[in-house]
Structure 1
Amino acid sequence: MPTASLLILIAVLLPPSALDILGEVVDERTYLTPYGEAGPLALRKLSDDLAVWVQPYTGLPTRTDPRATIFAARQLGVQRILNWDMGIAVNPVLQRGQPVIVDDYIGWTSHQADTFFSDAHTGLDINLGSVRSPFCPEMGEAIEQLLPGLPKATAVGVDFLRRETRAEARMFRRWGADVLSYNLVPEVA
């Protein structure tokens, strides 16, 4: 059975055939974790050497606990998670539909757990460095090589199903935010 060290969380609506570029589905799993059920996660194999785990993902309040997704990913041997998501621009310089590379975030969610450390039984080896880059610099560099010229952006993680007020949008912009995201925080935390 092939293995994969990358999990792609797909938080945009795509027809199933759009994922065929990642290869055929060769395995599908659902995991029961200390944080609830995670999955289904589909293993797509492009070649003998290239495979990736894929999970549909939404910012709905009923979504899988982000800790369950990360816990299951670790059980699968995943070393990196790529979030493919859409956001709402609060930076007027950004055009509608313009892709960005998010390189920092502001956590503004209130309805999701935002740490593994409230439960000591996780068994996860998590780096507790001081101020750190919240995103993998190697993945950012790889994306920049594949898609040169994408602007970097700071995202605000917000709760789903409530649009920000005009005052909140102005506040987020003053804080240095470029986009709002429903599926980034608390996952990255």
Structure 2
Amino acid sequence: MERSKKLVLVAHCLLNSNSKVAGLVKKQEEIQKILSLLLEKKFGIIQLPCPELTLYGIKRWGHVKEQFDTPYYRRHCREIFQPYLDQIIDYRAVGYEIKALIGIDGSPSCGVNKTCSACWQGEVADLKPDELMSLKIINEAGIFIEVIKKILKAKEIEIPLIAVDEENPFLAREKIEQL
């Protein structure tokens, strides 16, 4: 098999929806079409780790960006990304192209253009209905994507970002078609 020397980095949950917070899997058939398109275009796929899963495990509650915006979580993100940064540097040194990093909009970690936001803290059971209803989507990246962008910028590595919006995954497919 001839190597394409084209790679993409993808958010963990795009390849493994089991890693998501229970109840958050949407339009899996459309995600599968995106993954099929990547394979059809002969991209090597590097699955990034899920910082939420690697820190809190599978039985975690849903969080918002503000809950992850701590020095501890950012350090965790830097640490788990380091081996992938090493791969990026190594691949590029021998002529491979990293064509895109594909994240998942709405995620407090892997959102590219959008993330979930609210001022939540304390016991989940103690949150009042209006506090729960304060959840909103804001036009910002998630914490893991912010950390990755900062690391890549410091290393002078440019990798285009593509957002998969699970409510409208067709936009991501169009961008991948152009790679």
- What TM-score, normalized by structure 2, do the two folds share? 0.35
TM-score computed with the length of structure 1 as normaliser: 0.33
**Which structure carries more helix by proportion?**
2
Whose strand proportion is higher, 1 or 2?
Answer: 1
